Amino acid sequence: MELRQLRSFVVVAEELNVGRAAVRLHLTQPSLSRQIAALERDIGVELFARIKKRFVLTAAGATFLAEAQDLLRRSEEAVRAAQRTQRGELGTLRLRFVQSATFEALPRLLGAFRTAYPEVVLDLETLTTLRQTEALRDGRIDVGLLRPSAPSAEPADEKAAVQLAPGLSSRVVSSDPVLVALPARHRLARRKRLRLAELGGEPFVFYNRPSGPVVHDTLIGFCRAAGFTPRIEQEAADVQTIVSLVAAGIGISLLIGPTPPSNPNSVVYRELSDDLPLWQLCVAWSPDNRSPVLARFLEILD
């Protein structure tokens, strides 16, 4: 039994006239009649009968018609789904991101992608830069939002490529400064800009090193270049916890922007006047990944 036989049967059942059905199907009447006869032989039942010169469906034919219509509908849906998958309109996008991407870049990019491709399933998870690069090379994820291993002395143009790791492609989506997080009642909170050296005697809340060794070591390096080693009062694995600890008055902190939303009566963020390098945020992917969904996501970067 072939789909063309089912289509011929359904048209004949709708018309109940072989001549009109043959016209719709662009077939000759004898050819259409042979198709219906072959179908009846294949399934072993009579589908049509003549009653008082009328061409009608048998009881078996009526049952078969409903099932045949459903099979044709599902076959058409399968074809459309395959075509849409090939165009990247269906499927799953496996995206991982560093936490600092969640406050601006991630909602911006995902919002645009969701608007354009609402039926793509998003597989999302926070992951460090190192683990993202490994997962991209291994083909376990499609795209990453991550930070290069070191900040850049010059702001990179958006859409510029950055060398992250062998075998990966990338595009810069933002170049972000280091900011100071202060309790709202801190003596320095009234200032708009601060020098890093002014923070030398303060207790700090810092990223713990296992969660981000490059960020941890680089920020400490900035402090040492300004003339002091930060006195770390408390460590935390994520920026939300750090901000909560700052709000509680445990200490101040250095964060890579953009910063999480917070109550200005609890925590304030201030710029540094030091000439510190900016930290780029990049979209990264493997050029060997031929996923149509990935291709559609990369289009929104243009």
Decide: pTM greater than 0.85: no
Averaged pLDDT of the chain: 90
- From the list 109, 89, 54, the residue with the least C-alpha distance to 284 is 109
d(CA 41, CA 51) in angstroms, rounded, equals 21
pLDDT of residue 141: 97
Tell me which of 122-131, 152-161, 217-226, 276-285 is least confident: 152-161
Pairing of strands 169-176, 253-256: unpaired
Residue 171 three-state SS: strand
pLDDT of residue 157: 54
Inter-helix orientation angle 29-43/18-25, to 10°: 100
**pLDDT tens profile 3-27:** 888 999 999 999 998 889 999 999 9
Mean pLDDT of 209-213: 81
Mean pLDDT of 239-253: 94
Mean pLDDT of 260-269: 91
Model confidence at 158, pLDDT cuts 50, 70, 90, reads low
pLDDT of residue 80: 87
CA-angle at 107, arms to 208 and 207, nearest 5°: 5
pLDDT of residue 52: 77
Mean pLDDT of 64-86: 90
275 pLDDT more than 80: yes
Strands (DSSP E) contained in the chain are: 48-51, 54-57, 92-97, 121-126, 143-146, 169-176, 178-183, 193-194, 203-207, 231-236, 253-256, 267-272, 279-285
Element containing residue 10 per DSSP (H, E): helix 3-15
37 pLDDT more than 80: yes
Cβ 260 vs Cβ 239: under 8 Å: yes
